[in-house]
């Protein structure tokens, strides 16, 4: 049934939760934030799968301990298109309706992006369109920015370029290093991503 649809008596039907596959490559702290937010009874999404291109990604252990299905497929010696197709199959088989990229350090093939267009989000540690790609925090510090932050955006074929759904600004401290700024921006990321994903799927 359509999520949130009303029946003829005007009562709200039990909400069908969106099913989210999260792709990670590392620590998975944003994945964890999305996971813990999904424990709220009124959260409009649940985790269907946590998948990675790195079997050693720490986040896989966190997800598995929480009873979430996990999958890892190293990309080494695989065509990008082939690796993406393997990920796509698992995501579909897990019943996912949406994909959330959370520190997934792979450039995605156009075919994969097209399959999930409008249903795939990413979090990026800068105030886009500033500082696409890597080294965002050092770039912000080098530029003398007083305000850094993070963005959640829809994923399109261009790297870190899709429509921005929401951002959180984070003040840069005079003695910030890339590391201290990154750690503080992460707090903002962990608040922003669950809220924006929930709003988006609802």
Query: Which residues are identified as catalytic?
Result: 124
Given 44, 53, 125, 148, the residue binding ligand GRF (CB under 6 A): 125
Q: Phi-psi category of 160—alpha, beta or left, where left has phi over 0 and alpha has psi -120 to 50?
A: left
Is residue 128 within 8 Å of 160, Cβ to Cβ? yes
- Taking CB under 6 A as the binding criterion, the range among 20-28, 81-89, 139-147, 163-171 that sits at the site for ligand GRF is 20-28
Given 17, 20, 28, 60, the residue binding ligand GRF (CB under 6 A): 28
Given 189, 197, 198, 201, the residue binding ligand GRF (CB under 6 A): 189
Is 102 among the residues that bind ligand GRF (CB under 6 A)?
yes
Q: CA-based angle 69:70:72, to the nearest 5?
A: 160
- In the complex, the smallest distance separating the C-beta of residue 11 from ligand GRF, rounded to whole angstroms, is 39
Instruction: Please give the Cα distance from 83 to 71 (Å, whole number).
Output: 13
Closest CA to 91 of 115, 114, 109, 108: 115
Can you give the binding site for ligand GRF, defined by CB under 6 A? Answer: 24, 26-30, 102-103, 123-125, 150, 189
């Amino acid at each position: 049934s359509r999520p949130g649809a009303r029946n003829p008596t005007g009562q709200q039907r039990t909400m069908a939760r969106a099913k989210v596959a999260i792709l990670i490559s590392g620590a998975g702290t944003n994945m964890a934030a999305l996971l813990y937010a999904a424990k709220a009874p009124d959260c409009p999404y649940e985790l269907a799968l946590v998948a990675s291109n790195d079997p050693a990604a720490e986040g896989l252990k966190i997800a598995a301990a929480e009873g979430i299905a996990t999958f890892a497929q190293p990309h080494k010696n695989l065509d990008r298109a082939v690796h993406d197709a393997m990920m796509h199959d698992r995501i579909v088989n897990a019943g996912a309706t949406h994909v959330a990229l959370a520190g997934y350090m792979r450039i995605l093939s156009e075919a994969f992006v097209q399959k999930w267009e409008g249903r795939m989000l990413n979090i990026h540690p800068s105030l886009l369109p500033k500082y696409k790609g890597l080294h965002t925090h050092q770039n912000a510090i080098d530029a003398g920015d007083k305000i850094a932050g993070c963005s959640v955006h829809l994923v399109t074929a261009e790297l870190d370029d899709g429509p921005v759904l929401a951002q959180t600004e984070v003040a840069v401290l005079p003695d910030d290093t890339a590391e201290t700024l990154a750690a503080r921006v992460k707090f903002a990321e962990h608040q922003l991503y669950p809220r924006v994903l929930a709003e988006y799927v609802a």
